Structure 1
């Protein structure tokens, strides 16, 4: 779905009086649409963008990638197959364990990941532009705190 259609179709949830929850839901919709738009601009799907970013800096085992992306192994296999056909990633077996498969960014994949990340940063700057500078900084700090807490809870098995 196109970004402009997703945004124009935002639900008017504010009337339900759920203590700010609708605003958070609508923010999630705006962010999801923004990620989709940036991915499309770079000829990626949002999930391909997440895959590339998840491989930044180091190769990862398929099982670890599936867990970090929150997808089943079969879905990840298809995702990696498509990225591999595009020359964005490569697969290799791990020395000493023929069953374990590791995925690595190719040079083209690294360039695509960097372009996607740069596009996302620019898009986020545009979204936050209406806020005063101190509020933009505070928003980023608070978002990082929420994400950090969610990752910690996920790592400890609680949610």
Structure 2
């Protein structure tokens, strides 16, 4: 329902059956993603938390506080996870060039290789996506981008 100004009202409304079905499909997809992610992590002898952190570090070096915020955990937990990744040669600590007092965690070359292997081992969506045309995949991508800020 819209207000006189045309903006949606804050009053919650009941979801229609199609919306409920889409929500259930998304929930199933998310559950399957987490299941395969945990399996992929185990194949690399990583915990789920270690794999998630390594995936973040593969994108860019990050300060510990930002990692804790992204993983929604305490900075002390991040320290332990980075320690374990560092002991395996998958991550390293380095000074932030912008502020040498800040330590960044970064993936090593081996860490980048393992993170790539983790991504590539997530097979659950590949076959269904391969069944869609390139145009259908573009539409799906664009719709998901609208849903995920």
Q: Note whether the superposition's TM-score is higher than 0.5.
A: yes
Structure with higher helix content: 1
Tell me the alpha carbon deviations over residues 38-76 of structure 1, each in whole angstroms, 9 at most, x when there is no partner: 222333233222212211253211111111222221221
What's 1:14 paired with?
none
Residues 85-142 of structure 1, C-alpha deviation per residue, up to 9 Å, x if partnerless? 11111123447554x321121121121112222223x44313534x432444333332
Normalised by the length of structure 2, the TM-score is 0.70
Q: Are residues 137 and 46 of structure 1, via their aligned partners in 2, closer, same or farther at CA, if it must alter by over 3 Å? A: farther
Name the structure 2 match of 1:86: 88
Mapped pair 1:30 → 2:45: no
Q: Is the 8 A contact 2:41 2:48 kept in 1?
A: yes
When residues 78 and 138 of structure 1 are mapped into structure 2, their CA distance, relative to the original with a 3 A threshold, is: same
**Could you list the runs of 4 or more consecutive aligned residues of structure 1 that deviate by over 4 angstroms after TM superposition?**
93-97
Alpha-carbon distance in structure 1 between the residues aligned to 2:50 and 2:139: 30
The count of residues paired between Structure 1 and Structure 2 equals: 129
Mark the runs of 5 or more structure 2 residues left unpaired by the alignment. Answer: 1-16
Distance in structure 1 (CA, Å) of the matches to 2:138 and 2:44: 27
Task: Give me the TM-score of the superposition, normalised by structure 1.
Answer: 0.66
Structure 1, unpaired ranges of 5+: 1-16, 150-159
CA gap of 1:42–1:94, structure 2 versus 1, over 3 A, is same
Aligned: 1:19 with 2:20: yes
